[in-house]
Structure 1
């Protein structure tokens, strides 16, 4: 795109044309990476901020999952574990922000891998990274729907003592959440951006709607108990090991940081707006999540009674102990449940866009079908539907074994974090070898794709600070992935065993088999599309 005013001839003489619009600049930048703009740019900064914040829903996740950190680490372990995870996530999000600022495409990790990796390793690394992102997002979407279904069951149990929950009830409720998510995602236009902006308001107001009554009405523990008491209820050989196992709950509360990345082709000024939304989301969600964690720990009350709650969720019992009211507890728990349901909408959008982009570059079997975009709504509807069908099929596991399904949920962390680690390692290598330029040689030159020149985007942490943050992020991600595969107690039974490593490694092996049998003949990294 021209960067200065241009002129054209008209019947009345020379007529000035103004500078290109943000959309034209975004489409031009996308074309420089070899991609045609086929999705509509309906998102702005605020709607994308709402999308990023409500994908993470950290304070809601802390409410639901804080027990894991409490049992392995205790109150003090939960506090310091959260701060450790928050610092690691912030560094990881800096890497994602730098990369999306360089190459704002829906492909995200596998596209970045193809542009950063050495030519000899580009195809295989890019392909594996694409599949790690696919399984990570598919598991994240399934986990969100599952949690909402079981939360609704918990609310029914809370308000109706005669209700006898069954596993298949949770599966049906799970399917209802999927149908709701498909409905919002299929409409197209400005429905999804406006929906996400509205949910951001609920996300913030809901935080205070729970925090204020909880802290005002509950009996409080002491600061000494919260900040100095460590527990090792999992029976691990050391308190340090117990602490790191307990951080997994906090890690999951920050899962999905690359959500906005996969919507990059649907937002104006993507190279600036997406990094801003990612970094603001970790600041906003981290602050609210830490505040809610402290509130839960100070107001925890009788934890033994909470653990025996018939709802299946101890936080509901904690709310009831604080308010002394079933109705008040139901309202507070409904806010968390509603946020979970609305989050599933954004997760489906992000999951389907990443899947669609990988199919567009021929990394998925049947890519010709999954890469189609409906003309009227400009939505990759086939990818939305396939993602939803896969999630519904996964829900059948819950009928036979909720334990097995919970292990599947752990793949959301391992899959996404492994993809972050691959691109983070490649970015560090390019940083240290000076492989990324700060200046673009031409407005029309192909950049930031496989085999092309690498240039930094508007968001960039330069020099030694960039290297240090990159190294810290890789250290944190290595720790996070390693402990994601651990069980929650030292004495392992069928109920406490974590089988997520089987699912993650199994998916990697299957993708490798398909790569050498078929994909290596059709997958060459990001495709340079015609018609540009």
Structure 2
């Protein structure tokens, strides 16, 4: 039996060179060699998990979609629905990473849980969804940061005329800085993530204090808790509400980022689940508090929606601070957090690509799977991910609509990569519970209910993530994510037939411990 099938935890007699600690032994039991530097402490992992989501900050960036479809009341109840759903998703994810703590994440879990006849194929499809979604997420995070910077300039300099190529150049600059931190300064990344965690909380206190104390406008209770809007033109407010769910869903995206870094985390099988659950608690609490504060100080909703900056939060903060300079300064703090999020996003996206390459699932796998011996990072995968983000940003010069179509793939791709292993996990824990050996972190008897709810929530949210923000639908407002997600699936199927089935045999068993090895590295 392959060790991935039951999450074996037996202590294996290995040399010091092969497995010098518990983490390396656990990784070796799953068939993988420890080749990356394990220097992420629990606090650094928590910082990584929190700042990959940047929920209270990220919520500002997609605020407009929830205001159009749902309005203030829709944003509040949609946030609560999204928070509960993501908590179930992350709890299920925590159980799986505790059992199989590898950088591969979803595709590794799928291989471990699927029936023998279909495990290789399902693992391959899951892996491509996750890899492409993370590449799109990295590109969209860079673009969000760049265009937010443009918004700050627009807000403070009336003479500035924004151009799309300005945003692309800013993407190049942001990616370049992130590259330095993910290569030459990679050893310091855990300290940076710890510092960013502190900023994540301190800046929350600063921004929410300024908004609630200084704002000249205070909305009525009924305008916050019971005002529903349907500016997207849908037939009913209920349908509009579900379309607007993309706002809270996107604000929590990136939840699995810490999973892909787990081979660089001390005590990964215990620490990663803890960090994931703490991050959803911290981000959910701060995000909800900031949402309520924003709705009470928003002032004129049409004015916020029509802000020339392209981001309503800049207009809201300018109004709350009673000055353009103050609003620009507060907004700059949020944009700094967007940039900090990019550090972890580039790291996680590159590790997902590296893990899939390590298992021979992508072209030029040997090069992408190589780990630089000096830096202890998968340098080719990091550079490749940065290159993809920069290349995709060039699309924005020709058409912002086409670029937005690419980045809209993020939510659907991530949720799709969760659904397959979650469904297999749910089936196996009901039909064959004896075949599952829980990891150090487990939900126990409540796991099956949480798992089931996570699946149902993912299906609902993924379905409505394909809907356009407004009707009637035209090319400029079309939500292209359904087209892009379908294209990813078709690409994975086609590439499976042409290449994958010849080289991909599931996660490569590298350690050669003689435990029913299916295939050697």
TM normalised by structure 2 equals 0.94
2:138 aligns with one of 130, 138, 141:
141
2:273 aligns with one of 267, 272, 275:
275
The SS at the match of 2:419 is helix
Q: Which runs of 5+ in 1 are unaligned?
A: 7-16, 438-453
8 Å CA contact 2:97, 2:105 repeated in 1: yes
Superimposed CA distance per residue, residues 22-57 of structure 1 (whole angstroms, 9 cap, x where no aligned partner): 960110010000001000101010000000000000
The SS at the match of 1:51 is helix
Instruction: Identify the residue that residue 519 of structure 2 maps to in structure 1.
Output: none
The alpha-carbon deviation at position 434 of structure 1 amounts to 2.6
1:457 partnered with 2:455: no
1:479 partnered with 2:476: no
The alpha-carbon deviation at position 3 of structure 1 amounts to 6.4
1:315 partnered with 2:313: yes
Instruction: Identify the residue that residue 342 of structure 1 maps to in structure 2.
Output: 340
The SS at the match of 1:97 is helix
Counterpart mapping for 1:14-163 below 5 A:
24-163=21-160
Superimposed CA distance per residue, residues 368-392 of structure 1 (whole angstroms, 9 cap, x where no aligned partner): 1100000011100000001111111
Instruction: Identify the residue that residue 501 of structure 1 maps to in structure 2.
Output: 482
Aligned length: 501
1: CA distance, partners of 2:230 / 2:424: 37
Q: Which moved more, 1:418-427 or 1:319-328?
A: 319-328
Instruction: Identify the residue that residue 326 of structure 1 maps to in structure 2.
Output: 324
Instruction: Identify the residue that residue 10 of structure 1 maps to in structure 2.
Output: none
1: CA distance, partners of 2:186 / 2:248: 35
Instruction: Identify the residue that residue 168 of structure 1 maps to in structure 2.
Output: 165
Instruction: Identify the residue that residue 6 of structure 2 maps to in structure 1.
Output: none
Larger Cα-atom Rg: 1
Instruction: Identify the residue that residue 392 of structure 1 maps to in structure 2.
Output: 390
2: CA distance, partners of 1:274 / 1:204: 20
2: CA distance, partners of 1:365 / 1:529: 20
Instruction: Identify the residue that residue 178 of structure 1 maps to in structure 2.
Output: 175
The alpha-carbon deviation at position 2 of structure 1 amounts to 8.7
The SS at the match of 2:46 is helix
1: CA distance, partners of 2:67 / 2:434: 44
Counterpart mapping for 1:234-245 below 5 A:
234-245=232-243
The SS at the match of 1:91 is helix
Q: Which moved more, 1:50-59 or 1:476-485?
A: 476-485
1: CA distance, partners of 2:340 / 2:363: 30
Counterpart mapping for 1:398-477 below 5 A:
398-437=396-435, 454-463=436-445, 465-477=446-458
8 Å CA contact 1:148, 1:340 repeated in 2: yes
Instruction: Identify the residue that residue 445 of structure 1 maps to in structure 2.
Output: none
The SS at the match of 1:495 is coil
Superimposed CA distance per residue, residues 120-179 of structure 1 (whole angstroms, 9 cap, x where no aligned partner): 110110000000000110111111000010011011111111100000000000111111
Superimposed CA distance per residue, residues 373-414 of structure 1 (whole angstroms, 9 cap, x where no aligned partner): 000111000000011111111001111111221222221111
Shift of the 503–2 alpha-carbon distance from structure 1 to 2, 3 Å rule, reads closer
Shift of the 2–229 alpha-carbon distance from structure 1 to 2, 3 Å rule, reads closer
Instruction: Identify the residue that residue 489 of structure 1 maps to in structure 2.
Output: 470
Q: Which moved more, 1:243-252 or 1:216-225?
A: 216-225
The alpha-carbon deviation at position 188 of structure 1 amounts to 5.2
2: CA distance, partners of 1:403 / 1:298: 32
8 Å CA contact 2:30, 2:100 repeated in 1: yes
2: CA distance, partners of 1:35 / 1:302: 56
Shift of the 2–394 alpha-carbon distance from structure 1 to 2, 3 Å rule, reads closer
The alpha-carbon deviation at position 325 of structure 1 amounts to 1.1
2: CA distance, partners of 1:117 / 1:223: 50
The SS at the match of 1:119 is coil
Shift of the 276–436 alpha-carbon distance from structure 1 to 2, 3 Å rule, reads farther
8 Å CA contact 1:63, 1:296 repeated in 2: no
The alpha-carbon deviation at position 514 of structure 1 amounts to 1.3
1:229 aligns with one of 227, 230, 235:
227
The alpha-carbon deviation at position 435 of structure 1 amounts to 3.7
Q: Which runs of 5+ in 2 are unaligned?
A: 1-8, 514-521
TM normalised by structure 1 equals 0.92
Aligned-residue Cα RMSD (Å) equals 1.7
The alpha-carbon deviation at position 530 of structure 1 amounts to 4.2
2:357 aligns with one of 359, 365, 383:
359
